[in-house]
Structures are given as C-alpha cells and as structure tokens.
Amino acid sequence: MSKRTRIFIGILLAYAIGVGLLMLRLLGDIDPRYRESAEESLVETAHLLAATLENGSRDGTLQADALRPVFQSLYARRFKADIFGFEKTRVELRVIVVDRAGRVMFDSQARHEGEDYSAWRDVRLALTGAYGARTTADVDTDPRSSVMYVAAPIRVDNQIVGAVSVGKPVQSFGQFVDAARRKTMLVGATSVVAVLLLAVIVSAWLVRPFGVIADYVRYVRAQRSFSLPRLGRRALGAIGAAYDEMRDALAGRNYVADYVQTLTHEVKSPLSAIRGAAELLQEPMPDADRARFAGNIVRETQRIQELVDHMMELTALESRRSLDATEPVALRPLLAELAASAEAAGAARAVRVDVQPGNDAIVEGDAFLLRRAIANLIDNALDFSPAGGTVTLGLTAQRRTVDVTVRDRGPGIPDYAEDKVFEKFYSLARPHSRKKSTGLGLAFVHEIAELHQGRVTLANAADGGALATLSLPRLEAPAAS
C-alpha cells in the first residue's frame, strides 16, 4: 500500500472516528434533554394542583378529597392522540398529596395513602418551601420503571400546610428518546456513507497534492545539515505547489468541458460553410461561381486557423500563474509605436489613431505581453470605429496605478453585452462588415492584465463610443511634496 493511499485511508478513518464521537455525544445528550423538558412540564402541573388545593382549603385545613373523583374519571378516560407517529391512549400522570408532616393524604393510584413520605427528597424540600424533584424506580431492579417526581408546597394563610408531588413515568417519553436516537444514528450513518462516496470520487484529484508534501519530507531527510531558512522556503514551496495542484484538479474538468463545448460551437459554422462549398464545387458551374466558392473555403479555413491559433495562445497564457521575467516598461513610447503601426490598418476606412499628450509612466511587466494587450484593444476600437473616425489613446498616471485608455467613436456596447465582452468566444458584429471576430482578443487582454496584477474594463463613454481602460500597478510612485 502506497503512502498516499495510507494517508487517504487515514483521513477517512479520522473523519469516521470524529463523526462517531460526535454521534456518541449527541446520543448521550438526547435523554437528559427530554428529561429536562418533561421536568419543566411537571413543575407547572405541580403548581397548578397546589393552587387548586389552596383554593379548596381556606379554613386552614388541607382538603385533598376533591381530587379523588377527578382522577378516578381521568384514569378511566380513553382517547387516541397521535404524537409524531406515537399513539397515546391513556393518562399516566401520578399525584401524591402530603400534609405538613409528610404523611400521604391522597394518592391518585391509591397505593401509598397513610405512608410517611417526609424522607423523600421532593417532599422534604417542598415542605421547606424549596424546589424538590427526584427520580425513583417502582421496582428497584428495573430502571425502566423509573418515575420522575416534582413537588410544590401548598400554602394556606401564608403557612405551608402540605405539598403536592406530581409524577411521570420515564417510559412514557422514553419511546420519543428511542425514536430520536434512531433518527440521529440514521443521519450520522448517511453522512459517513455520503462523505466516503464523495471521497472516493475525488480521491484521484485530491490525494495527489499530498505526494508533494511527501516529496518535501524526503527532501528534509536527505539534508546533511540543518538550515531553517532553507527548509522553510522549501516547505512554503511544497505547500504552494500542493494548493495549486488541488485547485487545478478541481477546476480542470469544468474548464476543459467548457472549452470543448464552446470551441465546438464556434467551429461548427465555418465547417458547415466549407462542407457546403465543397459539395457545390462537385457540380458543374461557371468559373466565376467556382472561384467564389473556392474563396469561401479559403476564408473559412483561415477563420478556423485563427481561432485555433488564438485559442492555443490564450490557453498557454492561462496556464501561467506568474510572469517568468519582468522589466520596467515605459508606456508612452509603447503607445506611440502601436499608434504608428495601427495607422495602416485604419487607412482603408480613413480611421486615425491619435495619442493624447502627457507625461510618461513606467510599469513592471512583460513588454511583449503588454504590447499584445494594448494592440488588441486598438484593433477592437478600429473595428468598431466609423469611417473617418478617430481612435484616441491616453495615459493617466495615478498615485499607485497607471491607466491606459483606448477610446473609439463607434456605436458603443449594447446593454445585453456589457457583462459578456471579456468572455471567451463572445463577439459582436462589426458595424461596417457585420462579421464577428474569434471572440478571444478581449479574453487575452483580461488574462494579461491579471498576470500583471492589474485589471481591464470596457464601458460606454459618456459622450458616445466605447472606452477601454487597462489599469496596471505603477512602478514609481511620485515623490511626496
């Protein structure tokens, strides 16, 4: 058995033992909670009967005979009460009334009248005005015959002339305790089984990171000299690697499924066009039509090629957790270079690209990726600019960040698309050609911004058009004045 398997089994055993201990605690706590609830009810019943006897004993003499016909009728009563699946058919309440000396004057079961109850805890305390309660078994050798008693003093003319003790067989609510225990055990067992199944399903994904920790342990054993800083750095690296693998494992399946589904949808349209054109080319037709359908095949093939190339670039970018190498990048010369390169792309529709004047700003990052991100924003602005329009590039330095802005004068972003523009494969039709792009350009910019600890937004400008803003951490903050 491998170490990883033993670790996995150990985790499951630890969980099962933990749940077992919790269940034992809960099961042991059920009976006391039911007893407390029953005792609270007995307290009220005892004081109710004590008040009743006090009203019938106004001459200073305790009178309990009035209870006798009441309980005879009560015990003879039969009924059916469905209490959470348990049927109750008769009254099991017991009542004992004693005088001030503790001698039984009335017993609802007519078994202990005349006996001295002054030694029983509930009666003894009640005759002193204190709270008295006890649990006593009817049969000493049978704990199931236990009865809970609660006593209340009977006062006449501010003098305690006796006490009334109300009893309830524990077995009468024991059936509810047993039912609660069964339900609790069922819930616990179901929880353990569910977690075990879940653990088995995800074990292939979650056990692997522990192998990274095991590799670290082997590394520590292999060290000849002890260096706490070196071991600490290696430990942090192992924990970080384990976390990254666990996160990637949990997110990987959904990520791949989403990519495959979306790519299939995007490729379906050009493939259908290629297939249709290829089938038509098999039929006799004029040379002009043949050339047109052949051009369609070339164009749609190029579209698929661009889609695959961009997707590979984006996938490679998403797999990077940090920038491999960074350098100071001056943004204003970069904007001027990109504006000059974009003039040719906008010349066909007489779209100019201007750079607003201002100071330079420097960020720490990958110059190649930043150039690609800003170029994508400019290309997007050119596509949506009207003929003869202007794309404006701006650079604004804040205290801690630098904002690169790309503004066009096009129709802006529809309301339904505002929260989707950075989604992979989502694209809007260009106003002049009514065609869509691959839908990966803005997603590419979003990934580059995150790699540089920045963010990118695209919103409608106040006076028309769209405004893209790439915010990046500034390398040099202005000196305090």
> Do residues 467 and 351 both lie within one domain?
yes
Residue 292: name the closest of 303, 282, 305, 277 by CA.
277
Specify the CATH number for the domain of residue 152. 3.30.450.20
> Do residues 11 and 74 both lie within one domain?
yes
How far does CA 275 lie from the centroid of its chain?
Answer: 47
Q: How many CB atoms lie within 10 A of CB 322?
A: 7
pLDDT over threshold 60, residue 224: no
Specify the CATH number for the domain of residue 255. 1.10.287
Confidence of residue 428 (pLDDT cuts 50, 70, 90): confident
Residue that the structure tokens 């990048």 belong to: 329
Point out the least confidently predicted range of 169-173, 228-232, 320-324, 427-431. Answer: 228-232
> Do residues 167 and 288 both lie within one domain?
no
User: How many structural domains is the chain composed of?
Assistant: 3
- Of the three residues 294, 318, 342, the one that is the final residue of a domain is 318
Point out the least confidently predicted range of 27-41, 106-120, 162-176, 456-470. Answer: 27-41
This prediction has a pTM of 0.42
Nearest-angstrom CA–CA distance, 145 and 172 = 10
Whether 198 maps to a domain, the answer reads: no
Whether 262 maps to a domain, the answer reads: yes
Confidence (pLDDT) at 478: 47
Point out the least confidently predicted range of 200-209, 252-261, 295-304, 350-359. Answer: 252-261
> Do residues 304 and 439 both lie within one domain?
no
Give the helix ranges, DSSP H, for 223-329: 228-281, 287-318
> Do residues 297 and 380 both lie within one domain?
no
Which of the listed ranges 9-23, 181-195, 305-319, 372-386 does the model predict with the highest average pLDDT? Answer: 372-386
> Do residues 408 and 384 both lie within one domain?
yes
Whether 24 maps to a domain, the answer reads: yes
The answer to whether 221 and 258 have CB atoms below 8 angstroms apart is no
> Do residues 31 and 161 both lie within one domain?
yes
Domain carrying residue 31: 3-178
Whether 293 maps to a domain, the answer reads: yes
Q: List residues bridging with 210 in a β-sheet.
A: none
- Of the three residues 250, 284, 318, the one that is the final residue of a domain is 318
Nearest-angstrom CA–CA distance, 451 and 462 = 29
Q: What is the mean pLDDT of residues 364-393?
A: 88
Specify the CATH number for the domain of residue 416. 3.30.565.10
> Do residues 14 and 163 both lie within one domain?
yes
> Do residues 290 and 333 both lie within one domain?
no
Whether 207 maps to a domain, the answer reads: no
Give tens-digit pLDDT for 438-467: 677 788 788 888 888 899 999 998 888 899
Q: How far is CA 128 from CA 26, 99, 100, 158, 234, in A?
A: 37, 12, 10, 13, 73
What values do phi and psi take at 306, rounded to 5?
Answer: -65, -40
The answer to whether 434 and 365 have CB atoms below 8 angstroms apart is no
